[in-house]
Amino acid sequence: MCFLGLLSIRKLRKQNTGLKYGKIGIDLRPKSLFMKSFLFSACLLFTFLFGNAQTAPKNWYHLDASEGYNGTSATKAYKEIIKEKIGKPVVVAIIDSGIDIEHEDLKANIWKNPGEIAGNGIDDDKNGYIDDIHGWNFIGGPNGKNVGPETYEVTRLYAAMKYKYENADPEKLSKSQKAEYDQFLTYKSKVEAEREKAKSDLEQISAFESQVLKGMNSIEFALGERKNEVRVLLSDDPYKGLNLNETPEIAMAVNVAKQILKQSDEITNVSQLKESLISILNDEKTDSQNKLDYAYNPDYDSRKLIVKDNYADSNERFYGNNDVEGPDALHGTHVAGIVGAVVGNEIGSDGIARNVKLMSVRAVPDGDERDKDVANAIRYAVDNGATIINMSFGKGYSWDKKAVDEAVKYAAKHDVLLVHAAGNSGQNNDKTDNFPNDFIGKHGFIFKKKCHADNWLEVGALSFKPGEDMVAGFSNYGKENVDLFSPGVQIYATTPNDQYQYLQGTSMAAPAAAGVAAVIRSYYPALTAEQVKEVLMKSVKPIGDVVKKPGTKGAEKVAFSELSVSGGTINLYNALQLAAKTKGKKKIKEELQKGA
C-alpha cells in the first residue's frame, strides 16, 4: 500500500490490481519496533509523488532519439515530413472517466455532433441518445446523477453468486456446481482479504500520520523564531543545524520533510509541511474508505441506485445521460490532451495529433468499468463517426466478455482502430488475464487457437530514461499480447479547470499511440484500420537493449525485444514514411468500384 500514492495515482485507472512501484530507498534507519512496523509503508510513501522527480522536458514524448529521448518523434515528423500539409479530420473517441470539454487547450478540438441541437431534449439525429452533443455517458442516470466510486469486478462476481453458494453444502453439489462453487470461494476470499487490508491500511495511515506530525511538532519547536528557515532540513546534517535529538518520530518527520521540500520551493515553514502531508494522507484515507464502502462492498449496487438500467440485459443500448465530464474528469482529460490538445497555441501542452476531434464517451468509474458499458461505448463511438478509439482502462476479471468481443468485431466491420492500455501491474499479459483484450474467439477444427482482432493495438509504457531503465517498471508486457511500447512516464498534459499535470501509466502510453495512429489516418485516409496497425507495428524503432524487466524491481534483466510483439517503440516519423509506401485498401476498393 502506498500511503502517498496521491490522488493522481488512483485516477490513472488502476488496471488489474493497480499501479505497483518499487521502493525508492529512503533511509529510515529504524531504531524501534514502531519504526520497523512503518518501514515498508514509509519507503513507499513517496514512490510516485516524490520518487519520480520531473527531470525530463515537458514535451519529451514528442521527441526523437536523436534529440535524446525515445519519444514518438512527432516533433521531427511535423518539421520534416508533414510541414504545412493539411490532412483529413479524424474523430478519436476517448472511452474514459470523462473530459473537461471547456478546457482552454481542448475545447477547439472537442467533437460536436452535427445532427444534434443542444438542450432541446429531443433526439434530433435519431441515434437513440438525447442531446448527445459531445458524446455520451453510460455510467449516468436518467436524473442526471453519475457513478463515481464503483465496485471492482471481482466484488460483482462474488455478489452475484453469494445468494446461491454462501450457505451451500459442497458435498451435495453436482460436478458443475462444485466447479462454480470453487470460483465463488476464490472471489469471496479475494474480497474479504481486500476488505481486511483496507481496514488495516486505515489504521496504519492514522498511526503514521500521528507519529510524523509529532516529529514535525518537535522540529517546529526547535526552529522557534526561525520558523521560515525550515529548508535547513535539506542540509546533510539537519540535526546539527537544529540541535535536535534524533528520535524515531523526528527521523521520520525529517525524511518526509526533505522529500516534500525537494519538490516545492513554495513551502517555507513547518505549518505548510504539515498541511501538505495531511492533504495527501486524507486522500489515501478516502481511498481506503472507498474500498470498504464501494470497491469491495458486495452490497453496493450503482446500477440500481444511479443508472437504473437492466444490467442483466447486455443487449440494452439506450441508457445513461449526456454529461460527458462527470464528477472527476482528471484521467480522461489528461488522456484527451495527449491525443489532441491544440498544437502550437503556446499554452499548456501539444497533443500528438493536429487535425483531430475528441469525442468523450464516459464508461470508466472510480472502480472497475462494466463490460456492458464498454461494449456500448465502443458501438456508440463507431456509430457516430470515430475511426480511432482510445481505451485506457483494464481489469483482471470479466463479467460479460462476449458482449465486448461482439463490440470489437463491430468496430472491425466498420474500420475502426481500438488502442488499449496494457495495464500497470508489471505482469506478463501472456500468462495473466487482462480485460478487455483482443481475443475474440477461437478458430481451427481440431486444435482451437485464439483468434486476435486485427483492429486492436495493445500498448505498454515507456520511460524517458535510456538504457536498462527504458521500460516503465509498472508496465505490463507480453511477447504475444502487447504489440508495442509508447511513452508513458512523466507525461505532461491537460487536467480539469485549465490545469496541466504530470501523470504516468500505460493509460498515458495508449493515447500517445492513438495520437500517432490519428496522424496516419489523417494524412493517409485510404489505409484501413488493420493497415494502420500494420504500419505502426512495422515502423517501430527497434530496441536491442537489455532492460529491467517490469515488476521485478530491476532485479531481473531481459531483452527489450522479448516484451512485445514488435520489439520496439512507436515512431511517427517512421510510420509516415512507411504509410506513404503502403497502397491503401480503401483506395483500391474505390478504384474497383469506379472501374465497374
Amino acid at the residue 258: K
Higher pLDDT, 590 or 167: 167
Residue 35 has pLDDT above 60, yes or no: no
CA 570 – CA 512 distance, rounded (Å): 9
Q: Taken in order 117, 123, 124, 127, is the CA torsion positive or negative?
A: positive
The answer to whether the beta carbons of residues 408 and 95 sit under 8 Å apart is no
pLDDT at position 246: 85
Tens-place pLDDT, residues 90-133:
999 999 999 999 999 999 999 999 999 999 999 999 999 999 99
pLDDT greater than 90 at residue 243 = no
Residue 12: predicted pLDDT? 37
d(C-alpha 388, C-alpha 433), whole Å: 24
Q: Which helix (H) or strand (E) holds 135?
A: strand 135-137
DSSP-derived secondary structure for 49-92: TTTS---S-TTGGG--GGGTS-S--HHHHIIIIITT-----EEE
Query: E strands within 434-571?
Result: 439-443, 449-452, 456-462, 484-487, 491-495, 499-503, 541-542, 546-548, 557-559, 568-569
Of residues 520, 537, 510, the one with CA closest to residue 390: 510
pLDDT at 375 over 90: yes
Angle of helix 248-263 relative to helix 270-290, nearest 10 degrees? 90
Cβ within 8 Å of residue 389, ≥6 positions away = 92, 93, 95, 378, 381, 382, 411, 416, 417, 418, 419
Give the percent of the chain with pLDDT over 90: 77
Q: What is the pLDDT of residue 571?
A: 98
β-pair partners for 568: 542
List pLDDT tens digits, range 132-188: 999 999 999 999 999 999 999 999 999 999 999 999 999 999 999 999 999 999 999
457 forms bridges with which residues in the sheet?
419
Checking if the pLDDT of 370 tops 50, the result is yes
β-bridge pairing 456-462 and 491-495: unpaired
**For all residues of the chain together, what is the average pLDDT?**
88
Architecture of domain 60-149+311-595: 3-Layer(aba) Sandwich (3.40)
CA nearest neighbour of 51 among 13, 20, 18, 15: 20
Query: What letter does residue 366 receive in the DSSP assignment?
Result: B
pLDDT, tens only, 482-491: 999 999 999 9
In tens, the pLDDT along 459-487 reads 999 999 999 999 999 999 999 999 999 99
CA proximity to 300, closest of 409, 149, 453: 149
Q: What is the mean pLDDT of residues 437-457?
A: 78
Q: Where in the chain is the domain with CATH 3.40.50.200?
A: 60-149+311-595
CA–CA separation, 437 vs 453, rounded Å?
Answer: 9
| pLDDT classification of 292: cutoffs 50, 70, 90 | very high
State how beta strands 439-443 and 449-452 pair: antiparallel
Contact 197, 1 (CB under 8 A): yes
Q: What is the pTM of this model?
A: 0.88
**Taking 90 as the threshold, does the pLDDT of residue 13 lie above it?**
no
> Rounded to whole angstroms, how far apart are CA atoms 361 and 359?
6
Backbone angles phi, psi at 493, to 5 degrees: -160, 180
